[in-house]
Structure formats: structure tokens, C-alpha cells
Amino acid sequence: ESADLRGAVALAHHFLRNVVKPGDRVVDATCGNGNDTLFLAKLVGEHGRVWAFDIQPSAIEKTSALLAAHQCASQVELIAGGHEGLSALVKEPLSAAVFNLGFLPGGDKGCITHGATTIAALAQAAALLTTGGIVTVAAYPGHSGGDDESQAVEQWASGLPPHIFNVWRHRQLNRSAVAPYLILVERRPS
Ligand code: SAM
């Protein structure tokens, strides 16, 4: 089956499929409609664990219903709160953390992720990565506020020490300059 790498989220899944194994611990920093949470829950399986955050109660409800419909609720801890509180709740080494920034499709477009809290959560997630573990960030420079946030993420990622992290920016060359793109951080094998 072809991967169809049609955008930042599809490309993130492509990397996650290679890294996340049954029994792993992972984070979905922005669960939204629950699609990434379900994808991660299937990868880690019933013996793994997914911590999934969102500040919108409707997102937590949608994700909860989606997981239940796919018999994947038992391995997921849903957290109705900001991902900037990640390190207070998650203490275990992570093989992946997924950030899908911006606003919830079909939801409140005024409720967006913001640079300061996103960077706080990214730093906490990166500190918990196992060697070979990855942080994926789908960045959306096209909406108001999204450009500043994307710049903030790039600045944070640019400053990560290269002997510890491999850091990539993946952009589509045949799309708009403000199309969503992927920033990938890998903790290097020691
Ligand atoms: N991954 C989701 C999916 O597959 O449907 C889409 C996520 S959507 C692009 C971004 C989400 O981030 C929104 O649902 C929004 O409520 C949430 N959000 C905004 N600020 C947040 C924060 N500080 N902590 C956690 N979630 C936040």
C-alpha cells in the first residue's frame, strides 16, 4: 500500500510507523478530533500507553468516542488540560510525541496553539525522548498567529544540540509557501 505523503500529517505518520513499537509510551500533545491519538493507540497496542492532551472539552469528548469505537480506549489517558503541563503528568521515557498545531478542523478557529506554551511542551517532550525517539510537529504558518508560532518552533528546534538531536524541516516544494510543513526532532542513538 502506498503511503501517499500528501502533507505534513501523513509524513509524520510515515516516520511514527517506523519508530513506535507495541508497548511504547507516547504523547499526543493536541488530540483535537482524535485521529492522531487513535493512530498512536493502534501503534502502541494494549500494553502501551498514550497520553493525549487538549484544552477544549469537545476535543476530549470526540477523541474519547473515537477511541471507544475502535476498542482503543484502555491504552489512552485523556488529559483535559494544556500540553505545557506535560512533565507534571508524564514521567516515563517516550518513543514519540506528536504536535499537530493550529486550530481544530471543524471546531473553534479562535482556539489555536500558541508559541510560548507550544515551546514549553516541546522542550518537556524532547527531554523525555528515548534514544531513537522522535518529536513530530505539523506547523501551520497560513493562519493568523500560525506564522509566529512556526517561527518560534523553528527557533527552538534550531537551538537543539546537534550531538544529541537530529533536526529536520520538511516542506513541499510544489505547494504554497504557507502550506503546512513538518519539523522532526530525533534523539540520536548514543
Ligand atoms: N491531532 C488532531 C486530530 O488528529 O484531529 C488535530 C489537532 S488541532 C490541529 C489542534 C488542537 O490543539 C486543538 O484541538 C486545540 O484545542 C488544541 N490546543 C490548543 N492549545 C493547546 C494546549 N495548550 N494544550 C493542548 N492542546 C491545545
3-class state of residue 136 by DSSP: strand
CA of 189 to the centre of ligand 1 (A): 30
Residue 148 belongs to domain with CATH number: 3.40.50.150
Which of 16, 51, 54 best tests ligand 1's pocket when mutated (most atoms within 8 Å of CB)? 54
**What ipTM, to 2 d.p.?**
0.96
Has residue 23 been placed in a domain?
yes
In tens, the pLDDT along 86-125 reads 999 999 999 999 999 999 988 888 899 999 999 999 999 9
Percentage helix, strand, coil for the chain under 3-state DSSP, each rounded to 5: 40, 25, 35
Helix, strand, or coil (residue 154): helix
Contact (Cβ atoms closer than 8 angstroms) between residue 187 and residue 131 = yes
The response to whether residue 104 sits with its C-beta less than 6 Å from ligand 1 reads: yes
Count: domains in the chain: 1
Encode pLDDT of 37-70 as tens digits. Answer: 999 999 999 999 999 999 999 999 999 999 999 9
Examine residue 111 and state whether it is found in any structural domain, yes or no.
Answer: yes
Q: Is 1 domain-assigned?
A: no
On whether residue 180 sits in a domain, the answer given is: yes
CB atoms within 10 A of CB 145: 17
Q: Is-contact 15 43, C-beta < 8 A?
A: no
Give me ligand 1 centre to Cα 100, in Å: 7
How far apart are the C-alpha atoms of 37 and 40, rounded to whole Å? 5
Residue 2 within a domain: no
In a domain, 87, yes or no: yes
